Chain A
Amino acid sequence: MIDQQKLYSIWVYLQAEPLFWLTLTIGSYIISDSIYRRTNLFPLLNPVAISVLLVSLILISFDIKYERYFEGAKFIHFLLGPVTVALAIPIYRKWHLIILNSKAIFISLIIGSVFAILVTYILSLQFEIQKELILSLLPRSVTAPIAMGISEIIGGIPSLTAIITIITGVIGASLGVFVFDLIKLKKMEARGFSLGLASHGIGTARAMSRDKNAGVFAAVGMGLSGLTTSILVPLFLKIVM
């Protein structure tokens, strides 16, 4: 005979512990990642997107506040900093490739970053959204901490920018490959660079899972576009406003 009262009180105790949410996060990633691998890295089953949906579904159905979940998840979140530093290693190992293609990287970087800002601005005008939201959208291609910083400087809403940035990353990582196939891109370096530039870390993670060179060029694209975008967005606003 199972004592339901007892089980319930154990659940109440455990769900207040960081360990529970930490385990849940890793568990849902293991499940999503194995689905992703079993389908031969099918892009629409992006492991970030699937795990996020799994965890969110559990939080919503048990009526758990995000703050409580983050108490456990913050230990994983913390690693984003160190892993960014660790990106130095693949770049270092493929340095000769970057030097060989420095001109290609520079030109694609400038055109890509300008285009990302311009297309977001033009589309925002088409959809007639309010100015504050346009400003929160402009820096969306770059990694969240940089994007939020830019958003704050130009008068956007940093927390909205964070949300928009993550959605951008997931869209790029899961739909990018269809665009590349459509325009028949053959070089992994071009695919990777473009993913890193347009959809930062989540795009880079996807590129790394596909190909080593693609991963390196994605990391370079992500880092450099963070730099150029933080200069270009304020400059762009001076011209159009």
Chain B
Amino acid sequence: MLNSIFTIFLFQLAGEFVQKFFELSIPGPVIGLILLLSVLLLKNRYNRSPSTFERELVSSCESLLNYLPLLFIPVGVGVVMHLTLLEENLISVITIIILGTLLTLAITGFIMERLLKEDDQK
């Protein structure tokens, strides 16, 4: 468990470093994700069987991801407490968001559904 936590933190730290160093607009943790994914894929090329360390990392990450919704609560509460910032535009903004999001979901999903291939490795 501790090894996995350390690995995740290390990759996030590396991501933050790369972001600051190259002054990128992508957040550090997303770069950390790309770095960790690249290392895992590279390793997989040479050695397909997962080590104990890798198995532990997989199970720790998956259990952390189970709590993903919980992590949005602090920011979400901030939104409710600061809704007054939208002032008289609240209704228009909410309407734009609802229509815009639902239309985007429909278009993207519709195109993706038609382009996807069947997964034969299921």
Q: Which A residues form the contact surface with B (CB < 8 A)?
A: 25-26, 28-29, 33, 46-49, 51-53, 55-56, 59-60, 66, 69-70, 73-74, 76-77, 79-93, 95-97, 100-101, 103-105, 107-108, 111-112, 115-116, 119-120, 123-124, 127, 129, 133, 137, 140-141, 143-146, 149-150, 153, 159-160, 162-164, 166-172, 175-176, 179-180, 182-183, 185-187, 189-191, 193-195, 197-199, 201-202, 204-206, 208-209, 213, 221, 223, 226-227, 230
Contacts and interface: CB of A to CB of B under 8 A. Distances in A.
A121 to B, nearest CB: 9
Contacts of B68: 83, 201, 204-205, 208
Given A48-B76, A171-B98, 10 more contacts: A70-B78, A84-B33, A85-B12, A92-B44, A112-B111, A141-B104, A166-B72, A168-B101, A194-B112, A205-B69
A104 B116 contact: yes
Nearest to A100: B117
Nearest to A28: B73
A150 B25 contact: yes
B70 A76 contact: yes
Contacts, number: 295
Contacts of A183: 106, 109-110
B103 A119 contact: yes
Interface of B is mostly: helix
B83 to A, nearest CB: 7
A129 B11 CA distance: 42
B40 A88 contact: yes
B92 A119 contact: no
Contacts of A101: 115-117
Contacts of A150: 25
Contacts of A149: 25, 27
Contact of B95 (A83, A90, A127, A198): A127
B50 to A, nearest CB: 10
Given A96-B121, A208-B68, A170 B76 contact: yes
Given A127-B95, A198-B108, A76 B71 contact: yes
A79 B121 CA distance: 33
A164 B109 contact: no
Contacts of B100: 116, 119-120, 123, 140, 168
B89 interface: yes
B111 A145 contact: no
Interface string B15-30: 1000000000111111
A52 B82 contact: no
Contacts of B40: 88-89, 92
Contacts of A205: 68-69, 72
B37 interface: yes
A167 B79 contact: yes
A109 to B, nearest CB: 8
A95 to B, nearest CB: 7
A206 to B, nearest CB: 8
B101 A172 contact: yes
Contacts of A81: 12, 28-29, 32
Interface in B23-56: 25-30, 32-34, 36-37, 40-41, 44
